[in-house]
Amino acid sequence: MRLILASQSPARLSVLRSAGIEPVVRVSGVDEDALIASLEDPTPEETVVALSAAKAEAIEHDDECVVVGCDSMLLFEGELVGKPGTPEVARDRWRRVAGQSGVLITGHTVLRVSGGAVTDRASGAESTTVRFGTPSDEELEAYIATGEPLHVAGGFTIDGLGGWFIDGIEGDHTSVIGISLPLTRRLLGQLGVSVSTLW
Amino acid sequence: MRLILASQSPARLSVLRSAGIEPVVRVSGVDEDALIASLEDPTPEETVVALSAAKAEAIEHDDECVVVGCDSMLLFEGELVGKPGTPEVARDRWRRVAGQSGVLITGHTVLRVSGGAVTDRASGAESTTVRFGTPSDEELEAYIATGEPLHVAGGFTIDGLGGWFIDGIEGDHTSVIGISLPLTRRLLGQLGVSVSTLW
């Protein structure tokens, strides 16, 4: 059975590969803003689950496969924190979060496809607390100069250079990277698929 | 400035590489059992710190470098848990820990070497709680058959196939892999070395 990863994130791909799965990667063209606007008063969990489902549905499916859709967001002081985009925003962001905690919410939808049709589906979300360290000015400038934090949700990674500046987490670290292995395993299990059959 | 990693662990090497450092790897021939026997009533933290120091001291040093020594152990129900070695021990181990928590303790010693002599040193330990999931019999047999859990402390990894069966942690995930980035950064800082100068 093939696993199709409906995400272009190299970090998610790397997590799956390290964990024994070589997925097919297919990227959806979901209009995330339009989808979010269509939800009525969604919780963060409902938002990431809805986005993960839309991404899993939108890609082309093989006749026999499982499809995994993913979406993640960082909440800090109750606010959704996106990709910084510029060095200035990344710098301001890190000055605010340094020494504080945020919550990384990841949603997944797994589809079971048989005979070319979706025959079953399961969705869920995980929340993980992230404790940010306090980089020195020199370290923060060096980190920003690498470009790494500019294009990732929340302006940090835990699996790259940002790992030096994350003091700890409470929850599942693969969820923070963008694809929760334990949650994906539970959702696969709900569809009768044992994860070890995908190794 | 070069960083010398006094460990043959591919997982530690991989963590450092992902975090921007290409270390020189040198493996010490420390007699761990003899060293532990020489300690008087050591706490687990004292044990991993003493082992990390011995490993950092034992390898050949460059004229100008920093050396990082590491040691990790898993405590489960107050007992030290080593490498299973055989499928039978790995199976028994996982049946005991499934659904329970253990504590992974990692110790590091960082040496600053200048003009070929150790001019400064710093040591510390981190404890991280690991919540084990419950693999099905099929999953556990498939996991053991890969050989991965047999030769790692505690009989699990969080950065390989074992990641499917770790529900979460409280602490630093790189510490569980064997080299804590935030602790290493703090120890380097105590020696006046900013981690970003090693990228």
Domain that holds residue A119: 2-198
CATH classification of the domain holding B101: 3.90.950.10
Amino acid at B44: P
Radius of gyration of chain B (CA): 17
Facing A18 at nearest CB: one of B160, B169, B199: B160
Contact A45, A31 (CB under 8 A): no
* Beta pairing class for A101-114 and A117-132: antiparallel
What is the domain count for chain A? 1
Q: Estimate the crossing angle of helix B137-145 against helix B87-97, to 10 degrees.
A: 140
Residue B147 has pLDDT above 90, yes or no: yes
- DSSP H or E run through A14: helix A10-18
Residue B153 has pLDDT above 90, yes or no: no
- Interface check for A10 against chain B (CB to CB < 8 A): the answer is no
Tell me the pLDDT tens digit for each residue of B175-191.
Answer: 999 999 999 999 999 99
Q: Which residues of A touch B181 (CB under 8 A)?
A: 163-164, 166
Q: Do B15 and A136 touch (CB under 8 A)?
A: no
Q: Do A182 and B158 touch (CB under 8 A)?
A: no
How distant is the Cα of A89 from the closest Cα of chain B, in angstroms? 20
Q: Do A199 and B142 touch (CB under 8 A)?
A: yes
- DSSP H or E run through A36: helix A32-38
Contact B97, B132 (CB under 8 A): yes
- Interface check for A181 against chain B (CB to CB < 8 A): the answer is yes
Close Cβ partners of B117 (under 8 Å, ≥ 6 residues apart): none
Average pLDDT for B128-132: 98
The pLDDT, as a whole number, for residue B79 is: 87
Residue B132 has pLDDT above 90, yes or no: yes
The pLDDT, as a whole number, for residue B28 is: 87
A 14-33 residues with CB below 8 A of B? 15, 18-20
Q: What are the CA-CA distances from residue B26 to residues B22, B59, B165 (Å)?
A: 13, 6, 32
Q: If 0-12 CB within 10 Å is exposed, 13-18 middle and 19+ buried, where does residue B192 land?
A: exposed
d(CA A58, CA A30): 7
State the alpha helices, DSSP H only, in chain B.
Answer: 10-18, 32-38, 44-58, 87-97, 137-145, 173-177, 181-190
pLDDT band with cut points at 50, 70 and 90 for residue A62: very high
Tell me the pLDDT tens digit for each residue of B35-51.
Answer: 999 999 999 999 999 99
The residue to which tokens 């800082």 are assigned: B189
Q: Do A139 and B196 touch (CB under 8 A)?
A: yes
**Average pLDDT taken over every residue of chain A:** 96
The residue to which tokens 């340094």 are assigned: A98
d(CA A53, CA A71): 9
In a mutagenesis test of the A interface, which of B166, B167, B180 is the best target, namely the one with the most A β-carbons within 10 Å? B167
